[in-house]
Chains A and B, each alone.
Chain A
């Protein structure tokens, strides 16, 4: 079946502009994650949506970053007034939420959006 889809695959923007990154998770996956991958920084957790619960926004680096998930499916990560330090690959992942004791559902990653702020 279809995997996690992210768009655009590449985005070049000028400093100060707003950008929107889109993630289409695997159908039926109730958990959705955004991570940022920068050189030497590994995968930095940004935000986690779990079903209908309030999202865990503890990883968002500043109030310029926001994300929403509409209808429990598609998610959009918005970065306002972009800065050069925002340049990175933004990864989305989705997974099933299972009851404890059941088989673990791994994260399925998209190929990411490479954001370059000039």
Chain B
């Protein structure tokens, strides 16, 4: 079974400050890990993913995440928050390989304060 835990349902940062959204996963097999973003009144879209290879992955809009197996973590970061980053962010996990059932976390709403 796989699961993800997102710490903090709401995170507020000032514009220009570091964004850090936390995600820990549980998986009995090597995982694939993802961050999806949902902007207000829009559908979810993939922000970035880790499948194999480099553990630091870069996504759209300046976001990146690092897969740390020893810590079972996949935290999302961005050096400098923009107002347009205000959205809900979901961490997700699936098994590596062909069976791609994707399990999502409960989400973190990011508020950016001007």
Residues of A within 8 A of B (CB): 4, 31, 33, 35, 40-43, 45, 48, 50, 56, 91, 93, 95, 97-100, 104-107, 109-112
Contact = CB atoms under 8 A, between A and B. Distances in A.
A100 B104 contact: no
A111 B107 contact: no
Nearest to B95: A100
A107 B46 contact: yes
Interface residues of B, number: 26
Contacts of B43: 4, 91, 109-112
Contacts of B90: 42-43
Nearest to A112: B43
Given A91-B43, A107-B102, A109-B44, 5 more contacts: A45-B102, A106-B46, A107-B44, A111-B43, A112-B43
